[in-house]
């Protein structure tokens, strides 16, 4: 197991390195410079600025400098905000994103499982069709539509919850609900399909034949086996939701990572773009790794034995 | 205390499907006596498994209709039982072993726990006691290193070993009736013999009555004392092992016996299959269901269902050939000698 984790960590570092490299060179293709109003600057001023930020050097040299700094854990300074490190900017912005995203995942998982289970148990009934309808709707309508609807009806018309901005905890509710719709839909759909499949398995009949109560059969034998594939989809979905969703954060004026990311692309803030991309990728790779480990916990058939090759 | 532990009377089971109602089981009658082994034989789709599952009430409630009949266990009609009451019967009084050991164990639960689960449901034992009992059971069904194997998962077992686990689960609470639904069909021939021996052995120790469902007459010879032959949801012939093998009366039984390979037979002589295919049970006509495939079919067979006739006290058959007006027919040679000889030597 330890060997496996070390091996995987090695791969993860290699993957990250490749991502850094590709992003770095792709970013050079962005039009414009990181400086606002470059037209108003004289040639001499531009040169001085470029020298200050190291942009006068050839791209490969810049790349090596960046990697060198990165290895020391330094993501660099923002081009846009004087004296701000990229690290501190991410740290400041990730909080709100993670909060609304995390809440969305929790709500989505709970409601999704409930909806999926009901749907599977009442297969082909009115309840089933109803929840499939909700799931299809949730998957096909983008979350910003829900965001706008929630904001207008619950935030503005009914005034039950704050419509926007980021002041106290209650401001996180509406964005979370808007984001959770996709999670609910995805989880419900997967749970339903998997439950129906598992319900047809012989071992469910074996469990019933033992005289086990139906509730225990569903929870211990059916749901547990149905959850395995859901973990696979949920991992990456959780990352993308928790690291900030551009549009929803914009709509609710949440000072999150997604909003920062769009902003930096618009103004060519190279180091921030690099930093956020890197952060996002690292988290993503890490979650995929966690999912793989979790898979083994949930399903002993694919448990990684690492070295002890008898499983 | 009567001699009969379980009796099924005039059972009708049908399924609601998109293509209409399918009558899977029609008027099935049989009794199971204490300590005996009854075999239900028949080809695929003849309603054997449906009969078994309706005893356990494991059929999907929504689409299944048990229109008529009763299933009497210890003088109580199980069809009147609520779900909660049935849970007390399942596993404790009546147990079931399923066909495919590869799929009948939960892949994500340790086998020990799967055995313990049933024990804890029906017996008030502590965790530790139940665990020990489970380990004893695994030893009883012949799993080596039972103590270590308790913590193994099903995928770490071979098919034969898994079937032993399934049998251990079924026997966990000393049920009075064990229903084995094709317990050896998915196994290698050598393993089949081991599993059958194990079941016979355990029956001797516990006195459990067994209903064994199979389409393999070889299995029947090894296990059963009585046989019920099913065709298209009906029992067409019932009798003791000797009666069915030496003196079968129904043309379908003849066909089954003829299509069985015989050990001493010249290999160049081809087996004689039953011509045609089983009828579509969603669209049955009035007469005898076997009429379309029967080599001895008469006009009456197409229009009227034959009544059950007693050949002897233990032997009954539903066939118009039993009628006194029917022509006398010379039975084909289906014995080929050896299978019956085999039973005698056992």
Q: For residues B63 and B15, give the distance between their C-alpha atoms in angstroms, rounded to a whole number.
A: 6
Q: Which of B237, B242, B148, B141 is nearest to B198 (CA)?
A: B141
Identify the DSSP state of A243.
T
Residue among B88, B104, B109 whose CB faces A211 most closely: B88
What would the mean pLDDT of A32-40 be, rounded to a whole number? Answer: 66
Token readout for A195 is: 């439950």
* pLDDT recorded at residue B238: 93
**B234 forms bridges with which residues in the sheet?**
B231
Is B155–A224 a contact, with Cβ atoms under 8 angstroms apart? Answer: no
What would the mean pLDDT of A288-306 be, rounded to a whole number? Answer: 75
pLDDT digits (tens, 9 = 90+) for B183-210: 888 788 888 888 888 888 888 888 899 9
Among A96-110, A157-171, B272-286, which stretch is predicted with the lowest mean pLDDT?
A: A157-171
Among A10-19, A68-77, B10-19, B238-247, which stretch is predicted with the lowest mean pLDDT?
A: A68-77
Could you tell me the residue ranges of all domains in chain B?
Answer: 4-224, 250-345
Q: Is residue A18 part of a domain?
A: no
The residue of chain B with its CA nearest to that of A125 is B62
* pLDDT recorded at residue B209: 92
Q: Residue A244 pLDDT > 70, yes or no?
A: no
A230 interface with B at CB cutoff 8 Å = no
Q: For residues A295 and A3, give the distance between their C-alpha atoms in angstroms, rounded to a whole number.
A: 17
- Overall fold of domain B4-224: Rossmann fold (3.40.50)
pLDDT digits (tens, 9 = 90+) for A122-154: 888 888 888 888 888 888 888 788 878 878 877
Is B104–A202 a contact, with Cβ atoms under 8 angstroms apart? Answer: yes
**Confidence tier at B340 by pLDDT (50, 70, 90):** very low
What is the CB neighbour count within 10 angstroms for residue A228? 18
Split into its structural domains, chain A has a count of 1
List the single best residue of A128, A196, A209, A310 to mutate versus B (max B Cβ within 10 A). A209
Q: Is residue A25 part of a domain?
A: no
Three-state DSSP class for B70? strand
Higher pLDDT: A119 or A296? It is A119
Q: Is residue A45 part of a domain?
A: no
> Which residues, 6 or more positions from B161, have their beta carbon under 8 angstroms from its beta carbon?
B143
Is B89–A220 a contact, with Cβ atoms under 8 angstroms apart? Answer: no
Q: Residue B344 pLDDT > 50, yes or no?
A: no
Q: Which domain holds residue A206?
A: 90-263
Percent of chain B with pLDDT over 90: 10
Q: For residues B39 and B212, give the distance between their C-alpha atoms in angstroms, rounded to a whole number.
A: 5
Quick one: which H or E segment has residue A110?
helix A86-121
CATH of the domain at A138: 1.10.3720.10
* pLDDT recorded at residue B337: 45
pLDDT digits (tens, 9 = 90+) for B138-166: 888 888 888 888 989 898 888 888 988 99
A36 interface with B at CB cutoff 8 Å = no
A308 interface with B at CB cutoff 8 Å = no
Report ipTM (2 d.p.).
Answer: 0.81
What would the mean pLDDT of A9-35 be, rounded to a whole number? Answer: 83
pLDDT digits (tens, 9 = 90+) for B279-321: 777 777 778 888 888 888 888 888 888 888 888 888 999 988 8
Is B104–A299 a contact, with Cβ atoms under 8 angstroms apart? Answer: no
Among A89-98, A212-221, B131-140, which stretch is predicted with the lowest mean pLDDT?
A: A89-98
Q: Is residue A81 part of a domain?
A: no
**Confidence tier at B342 by pLDDT (50, 70, 90):** very low
Q: Is residue A133 part of a domain?
A: yes
């Amino acid at each position: 197991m330890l060997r496996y984790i070390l091996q995987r960590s090695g791969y993860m570092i290699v993957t990250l390195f490749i991502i850094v490299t590709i992003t770095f060179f792709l970013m050079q293709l962005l039009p414009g410079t990181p400086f606002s109003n470059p037209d108003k600057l004289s040639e001499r001023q531009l040169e001085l600025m470029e020298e200050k930020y190291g942009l006068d050097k050839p791209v490969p040299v810049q790349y090596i400098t960046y990697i060198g700094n990165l290895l020391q854990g330094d993501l660099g300074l923002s081009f846009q905000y004087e004296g701000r490190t990229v690290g501190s900017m991410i740290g400041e912005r990730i909080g709100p994103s993670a909060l609304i995203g995390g809440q969305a995942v929790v709500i989505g998982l709970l409601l999704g499982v409930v909806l999926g289970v009901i749907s599977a148990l009442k297969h082909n009934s009115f309840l089933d069709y109803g929840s499939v309808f909700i799931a299809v709707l949730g998957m096909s309508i983008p979350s910003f539509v829900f965001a706008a609807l929630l904001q207008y009806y619950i935030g503005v018309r009914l005034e039950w919850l704050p419509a926007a901005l980021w002041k106290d905890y209650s401001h996180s509710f509406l964005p979370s609900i808007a984001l959770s719709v996709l999670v609910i839909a995805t989880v419900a759909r997967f749970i339903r399909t998997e439950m129906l499949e598992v319900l047809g398995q012989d071992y469910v009949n074996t469990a019933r034949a033992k005289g086990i109560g139906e509730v225990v059969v569903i929870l211990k034998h059916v749901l547990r086996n149905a959850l395995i594939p859901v973990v696979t989809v949920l991992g990456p979905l959780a990352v993308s939701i928790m690291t900030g969703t551009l549009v929803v954060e914009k709509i609710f004026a949440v000072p999150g990572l997604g909003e920062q990311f769009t902003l930096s692309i618009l103004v060519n803030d190279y180091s921030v773009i690099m930093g956020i991309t890197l952060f996002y990728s690292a988290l993503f790779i890490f979650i995929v790794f966690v999912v793989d480990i979790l898979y083994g916990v949930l399903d002993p058939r694919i448990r990684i034995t690492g070295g002890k090759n008898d499983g | 205390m009567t001699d009969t532990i379980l009796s099924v009377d005039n059972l009708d089971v049908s399924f609601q499907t998109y293509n209409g109602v399918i009558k899977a089981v029609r008027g099935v009658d049989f009794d199971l006596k204490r300590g005996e082994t009854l075999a239900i034989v028949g080809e695929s789709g003849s309603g054997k498994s449906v009969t078994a599952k309706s005893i356990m009430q494991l059929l999907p409630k929504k689409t299944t209709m048990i229109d008529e009949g009763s299933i009497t266990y210890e003088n109580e009609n199980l069809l009147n039982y609520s779900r909660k009451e049935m849970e007390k019967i399942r596993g404790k009084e009546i147990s079931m072993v399923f066909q495919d050991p590869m799929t009948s164990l939960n892949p994500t639960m340790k086998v020990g726990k799967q055995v313990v689960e049933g024990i804890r449901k029906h017996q008030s034992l502590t965790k530790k006691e139940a665990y020990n009992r489970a380990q004893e059971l695994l030893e009883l069904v012949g799993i080596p290193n039972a103590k270590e194997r308790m913590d193994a998962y099903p995928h770490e077992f071979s098919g034969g070993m898994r079937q032993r686990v399934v049998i251990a689960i079924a026997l966990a609470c000393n049920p009075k009736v064990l229903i084995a639904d094709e317990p050896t069909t998915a196994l290698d021939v050598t393993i089949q013999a081991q599993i059958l021996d194990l079941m016979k052995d355990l029956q001797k120790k516990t006195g459990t009555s067994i209903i064994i469902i199979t389409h393999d007459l070889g299995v029947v010879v090894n296990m059963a004392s009585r046989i019920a032959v099913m065709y298209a949801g009906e029992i067409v012939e019932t009798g003791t092992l000797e009666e069915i093998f030496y003196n079968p009366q129904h043309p379908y039984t003849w066909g089954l016996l003829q299509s069985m390979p015989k050990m001493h037979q010249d290999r160049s002589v081809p087996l004689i299959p039953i011509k045609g295919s089983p009828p579509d049970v969603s669209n049955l006509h009035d007469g005898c269901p076997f009429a379309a495939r029967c080599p001895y079919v008469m006009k009456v067979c197409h229009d009227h269902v034959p009544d059950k006739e007693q050949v002897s006290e233990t032997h009954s058959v539903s066939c118009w050939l039993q009628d006194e007006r029917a022509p006398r027919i010379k039975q084909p040679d289906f014995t080929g000698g050896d299978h019956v000889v085999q039973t005698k030597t056992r």
